[in-house]
């Protein structure tokens, strides 16, 4: 059965790109605000156990159809693990390079000014 | 403990080499001499003139000087004669290779050159192209009389358009089953876009590309020049050269763009597992710099890359490291290679000895012949 756990006051996540890290039943979970929505991700990198969600948020490099023209997509929804740089999309928990590589994500609810992680 | 954990039931094993249907050697080497090549060059050509001026000393043609005299190493080929002036003086033609290969249980061999493994280090592009063509003509003549052997045609990476024309020229020959793109000393490394005509041609003709490393040349950059002995050079070069080229091929997207099989030769299997994991790790970490790939590097390796077994790099003890490597690389991606007629030869019997207790019969048959049969359509 899922329960919801308070992790932050909504005022702490008032801007896109902001985050809080809270402990929920012995596990650290980060809640990010991105493009007006909230996303919760386990603060644990599946690579070697690093504190994934303490890393920077980044966009991604893309190329044109012909593989040549190089651009930076500023949609900064990828969290970069501070240990070895593995990246995961905070909205899905999946690696942008191979979706079989994924970290746990959780639903988020906001109720009366409090942000809850659901697990 | 590892030994017993990896062993398979006796019922799944082959009992010996005689049980194996067909042994295919993806790296049976002929030894061509400058004189052999000269005979297949137009006498009025510039390349013919240049070779004539060298007095047929191969190290004036390919690469030199060596890190240190190789004479004792060359003597391990069996001669007691001084080799200082003429260490590749004798041809080892297809008939001699076939005889030696047959004697150790090889039914079919795919032939590679010896001197022309150094082709990538020839500075003059016209000369390099001429050497490749002369070798291929010599090889075709050699293979005519030896039904047990087929061959890789050599091409000069110095001139990719001419290399592609050479592939077009020889691709329909029954005895040519693949292309040899000499791996050592090739600059820039083989993933660079300048080589696309070569991959286009190999793809169009359905020919696998073998990349064999060599040693005793200036293959591996600056550090090579400080090798104070031949062994100091020999130990590390092969695997480093292969890692450099395969990383380049993968990260520049060659297997994404082309349907070409690659056969990595001369470096064995030992480095392949950690190399594979490292490629994947860095793709997941820094993949934004590698836009040409649509899947993990290991997926391309699994689809398109084959690793030749020689040298097995085993201790004298029968420890199960080699079978563990075969298992980690994947038995479908491992192909037997002897490197005959050189002194570091691995025989099919050695492979059976080391693998039979650990690898199911089907997988062992695949490594010893089935994979190469499929790859080269033998």
How much is the ipTM here? 0.80
C-alpha to C-alpha distance for B43 and B36, rounded to whole angstroms: 13
Judge: A62–B291 Cβ closer than 8 Å, yes or no. Answer: yes
Mean pLDDT comparison of B57-71, B112-126, B226-240, B305-319, highest-scoring range: B112-126
Mean pLDDT comparison of B81-90, B218-227, B296-305, highest-scoring range: B296-305
SS3 call for B170: helix
Chain A contact set for B292 (CB, 8 A): 63, 67
Question: Binning pLDDT at 50, 70 and 90, where does residue B89 land?
Answer: low
Q: What is the pLDDT of residues B90-108, one digit of tens each?
A: 789 999 999 999 999 999 9
For residue B229, how many other CB atoms are within 10 A of its CB? 11
Rounded average pLDDT over B79-86:
49
Chain A contact set for B293 (CB, 8 A): 97
Residue B195: predicted pLDDT:
98
Residue B237: predicted pLDDT:
86
Question: Binning pLDDT at 50, 70 and 90, where does residue B192 land?
Answer: very high
Judge: B284–A70 Cβ closer than 8 Å, yes or no. Answer: no
Among chain A residues, CA nearest to B277: A47
Q: Which of A70, A86, A98 sits opposite B285 (nearest CB)?
A: A86
Among chain A residues, CA nearest to B281: A86
Judge: A87–B285 Cβ closer than 8 Å, yes or no. Answer: yes
Rounded to 5°, angle at Cα B46 from B42 and B47? 75
- Identify the DSSP state of B263: E
Q: Does A57 touch chain B (CB under 8 A)?
A: no
Mean pLDDT of chain B: 89
Judge: B284–A95 Cβ closer than 8 Å, yes or no. Answer: yes
Q: Does A60 touch chain B (CB under 8 A)?
A: yes
Rounded average pLDDT over B140-151:
97
Among chain A residues, CA nearest to B286: A85
Judge: A101–B284 Cβ closer than 8 Å, yes or no. Answer: yes
Q: How would you class B164 by CB atoms within 10 Å of its CB: exposed for 0-12, middle for 13-18, buried for 19 or more? A: buried
Half-sphere exposure of B71 (CA within 13 A, CB side): 8
Domains of chain A: 4-118 (2.102.10.10)
B335 close to B267: Cβ distance less than 8 angstroms: no
Distance from CA of B275 to the nearest CA of A (A): 17
Percent of chain B residues past pLDDT 70, beyond the cut: 89
Q: How would you class B372 by CB atoms within 10 Å of its CB: exposed for 0-12, middle for 13-18, buried for 19 or more? A: buried
Q: Which of A77, A97, A103 to mutate to test the interface with B (most CBs of B within 10 A)?
A: A97
SS3 call for B206: coil
Distances, alpha carbon A49 to alpha carbons A81, A83, B147, B273, B343, in Å: 10, 9, 57, 22, 47
Can you name the residues that pair with A27 across neighbouring β-strands?
A24
Render the burial of A37-73: b for 16+ CB within 10 Å, e for the rest: ebbbbbbbbbbeebebbbbebbebeeeeeeeeeeeee
Q: Which of B256, B277, B291 to mutate to test the interface with A (most CBs of A within 10 A)?
A: B291
C-alpha to C-alpha distance for B98 and B88, rounded to whole angstroms: 19
Domains of chain B: 23-376 (3.20.20.140)
Judge: A61–B284 Cβ closer than 8 Å, yes or no. Answer: no
Q: Which of B284, B292, B295 sits opposite A86 (nearest CB)?
A: B284
Distances, alpha carbon B125 to alpha carbons B46, B121, B258, in Å: 12, 10, 25
Rounded average pLDDT over B125-139:
96
User: Is the confidence at residue B77, as pLDDT, over 60?
Assistant: no
User: When comparing pLDDT for A93 and A69, which is higher?
Assistant: A93
Judge: A85–B286 Cβ closer than 8 Å, yes or no. Answer: yes
Q: Considering the entire predicted model, what is its pTM?
A: 0.90
User: When comparing pLDDT for B224 and B184, which is higher?
Assistant: B184
Can you name the residues that pair with A20 across neighbouring β-strands?
A31
Q: Which of B288, B293, B294, B297 to mutate to test the interface with A (most CBs of A within 10 A)?
A: B288
């Amino acid at each position: 059965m899922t329960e919801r756990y308070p992790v932050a006051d909504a005022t702490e996540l008032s801007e896109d790109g902001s985050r809080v890290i809270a402990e929920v039943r012995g596990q650290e979970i980060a809640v990010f605000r991105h493009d007006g929505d909230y996303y919760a991700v386990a603060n644990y990198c599946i690579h070697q156990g690093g504190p994934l969600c303490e890393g920077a948020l980044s966009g991604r490099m893309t190329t044109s159809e012909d593989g040549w023209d190089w651009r930076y997509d500023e949609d900064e929804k990828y969290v970069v693990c501070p240990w070895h740089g593995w990246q995961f999309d905070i909205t899905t928990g999946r690696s942008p390079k191979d979706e079989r590589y994924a970290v746990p994500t959780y639903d988020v609810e906001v109720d009366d000014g409090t942000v809850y992680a659901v697990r | 403990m590892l030994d017993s954990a990896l062993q398979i039931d006796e019922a799944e094993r082959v009992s010996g080499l005689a049980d194996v249907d067909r042994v295919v050697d993806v790296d049976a080497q002929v030894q061509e001499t400058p004189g052999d090549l000269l005979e297949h060059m137009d006498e009025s050509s510039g390349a013919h003139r240049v070779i004539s001026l060298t007095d047929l000393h191969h190290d004036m043609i390919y690469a030199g000087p060596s890190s240190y005299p190789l004479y004792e190493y060359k003597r391990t080929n069996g001669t007691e004669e001084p080799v200082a002036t003429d260490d590749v003086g004798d041809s080892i033609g297809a008939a001699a290779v076939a005889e030696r290969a047959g004697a150790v249980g090889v039914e079919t061999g795919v032939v590679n050159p010896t001197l022309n493994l150094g082709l990538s280090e020839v500075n003059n592009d016209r000369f390099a192209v001429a050497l490749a063509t002369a070798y291929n003509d010599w090889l075709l003549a050699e293979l005519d009389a030896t039904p047990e052997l087929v061959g890789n045609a050599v091409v000069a990476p110095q001139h990719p358009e001419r290399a592609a024309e050479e592939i077009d020229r020889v691709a329909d020959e029954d005895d040519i089953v693949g292309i040899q793109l000499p791996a050592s000393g090739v600059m820039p490394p083989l993933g660079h876009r300048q080589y696309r005509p070569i991959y286009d041609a190999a793809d169009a003709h359905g020919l696998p590309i073998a990349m064999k490393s060599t040693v005793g040349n200036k293959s591996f950059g600056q550090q090579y020049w400080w090798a104070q002995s031949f062994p100091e050079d020999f130990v590390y070069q092969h695997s480093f050269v292969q890692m450099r080229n395969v990383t380049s091929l993968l990260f520049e997207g060659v297997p994404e763009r082309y349907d070409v099989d690659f056969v990595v030769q001369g470096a064995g299997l030992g480095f392949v597992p950690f190399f594979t994991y490292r490629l994947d790790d860095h793709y997941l970490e820094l993949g934004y710099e590698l836009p040409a790939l649509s899947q993990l590097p290991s997926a391309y390796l699994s689809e398109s890359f084959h690793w030749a077994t020689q040298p097995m790099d085993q201790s004298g003890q029968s420890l199960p490291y080699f079978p563990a490597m075969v298992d980690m690389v994947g038995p479908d991606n491992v192909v037997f290679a002897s490197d005959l007629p050189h002194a570091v030869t691995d025989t099919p019997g050695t492979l059976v000895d080391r693998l039979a207790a650990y690898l199911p019969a089907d997988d062992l048959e695949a490594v010893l012949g089935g994979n190469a049969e499929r790859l080269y359509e033998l």
